[in-house]
């Protein structure tokens, strides 16, 4: 199933789990954010180890957040860089609109359609059992795909420049998601996924009210 949209009304893609705001930021701000982040972020190439070989992730990444908000996945542990001013400005606006708190963000730079993200769930222990993740897309349109964890058909939606996708508290426990390759895409896409890393020993959960 492929979803489409024509307005900026929130589109509930999965009931109580996945919501898309197609034009959360207007074009002027989206263009500025894209240019600012492309030049100011410390984009890094990271690697995963598979059968003893180091394989580059098919995208560039940067992990930002408050001190102590380290994040581990795919055999890597990321220590946060300090907040970029644009990243922090976006964070504050999302927190106000969504009425939730974020203390970290994973930024991905997809250089063209050959860069991608494989099927996965953001279910690492430091995110807690029911994490809320706010995903901002800037630059080239790309297809976001998701499917039930335990069998069922996949669905797809286009994430346009300036859009906001909210993965709500139950999404990671029920679904896998991916960003497939797209041969026709030749331009950059920047994705900011805001999260809350729980302090060690904390059992507190955060929900959109």
Cβ partners under 8 Å of residue 92, min gap 6 = none
pLDDT value at 3 more than 70 = no
Q: What is the mean pLDDT of the chain?
A: 91
Kindly state the average pLDDT of the residues 74-97: 94
Q: How far is CA 41 from the centre of its chain?
A: 16
Q: Is 113 helix (H, G, I), strand (E, B) or coil?
A: coil
pLDDT at position 1 is 57
Q: How far apart are CA 188 and CA 32, in angstroms?
A: 14
Domain ranges for the chain, please list them.
11-195
| First and final C-alpha spacing in the chain | 29
Q: How many helices (H) and strands (E) does the chain have?
A: 3, 16
State the pLDDT at residue 71: 86
Dist. CA 77–CA 206, nearest whole Å? 23
Residue range 29-59, pLDDT digits in tens: 999 999 999 999 999 999 988 888 899 999 9
pLDDT, tens only, 159-209: 999 999 999 999 999 999 999 999 999 999 999 999 999 876 544 443 332
> Rg of the chain over CA atoms, in angstroms?
16
Residue 108 near residue 61, CB atoms below 8 Å: yes
Phi, psi values for residue 53, rounded to 5°: -110, 140
Provide the pLDDT for residue 134: 99
Q: Is the pTM value of this prediction over 0.85? A: yes
Within 10 angstroms of residue 197's Cβ, the number of other Cβ atoms is: 22
Percent of the chain residues topping a pLDDT of 90:
79
* Secondary structure of residue 65 in the 3-state scheme: strand
Helix, strand, coil fractions of the chain, as percent rounded to 5: 15, 40, 45
What pLDDT, on the 0 to 100 scale, is given for residue 203?
43
CATH 2.60.120.590 fits 11-195, yes or no: yes
Mean pLDDT calculated for residue range 122-142: 95
């Amino acid at each position: 199933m492929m979803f489409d949209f024509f307005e900026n009304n929130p589109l509930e893609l999965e009931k109580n789990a996945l919501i898309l705001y197609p034009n959360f930021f207007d074009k002027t701000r989206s263009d500025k954010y894209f240019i600012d982040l492309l030049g100011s972020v410390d984009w890094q190439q990271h690697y995963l180890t598979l059968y003893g070989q180091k394989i580059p992730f098919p995208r560039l990444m940067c992990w930002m957040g408050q001190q102590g908000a380290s994040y581990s996945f795919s055999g890597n542990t990321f220590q946060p860089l300090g907040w970029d001013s644009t990243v922090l400005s976006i964070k504050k606006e999302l927190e106000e609109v969504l009425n939730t708190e974020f203390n970290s963000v994973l930024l991905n730079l997809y250089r063209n359609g050959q860069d991608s993200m494989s099927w996965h769930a953001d279910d690492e222990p430091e995110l807690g059992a029911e994490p809320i993740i706010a995903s901002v897309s800037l630059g080239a349109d790309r297809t976001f795909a998701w499917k039930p964890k335990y069998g069922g058909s996949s669905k797809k939606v286009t994430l346009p420049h300036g859009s906001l996708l909210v993965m709500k508290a139950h999404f990671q426990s029920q679904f896998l998601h991916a960003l497939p390759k797209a041969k026709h895409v030749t331009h950059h896409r920047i994705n900011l996924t805001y999260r809350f890393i729980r302090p060690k020993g904390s059992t507190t959960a955060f929900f959109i009210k």
